[in-house]
């Protein structure tokens, strides 16, 4: 009996200093060399949340 395994998906979050953080936010912070402010969010230009290439990420301001 040959069962195909489902492909492993990339995790969407990572634990940094004991805090769970989204991968796209972590990538943007590493790229900028600073932490993002609470009002800054990372948007995927192509709408694909699995595409975390830095060229696909942009910071947007959260509207309150």
Per-residue pLDDT tens digits for 4-55 = 655 555 666 667 667 778 899 999 999 999 999 989 999 999 999 999 999 9
Enter the pTM of the model: 0.70
**Chain centre distance of CA 23:** 3
At residue 10, the 3 state secondary structure works out as coil
CA separation for the pair 64, 49 (Å, rounded): 23
CA separation for the pair 24, 54 (Å, rounded): 9
Among residues 24, 18, 17, which one has the least CA distance to residue 41? 24
């Amino acid at each position: 009996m040959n069962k195909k395994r489902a492909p492993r998906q990339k995790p969407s979050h990572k634990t940094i200093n004991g805090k769970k953080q989204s991968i796209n936010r972590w990538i943007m912070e590493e790229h900028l060399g600073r932490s993002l402010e609470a009002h800054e969010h990372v948007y995927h230009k192509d709408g694909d949340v699995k595409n975390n290439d830095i060229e696909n990420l942009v910071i947007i301001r959260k509207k309150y």
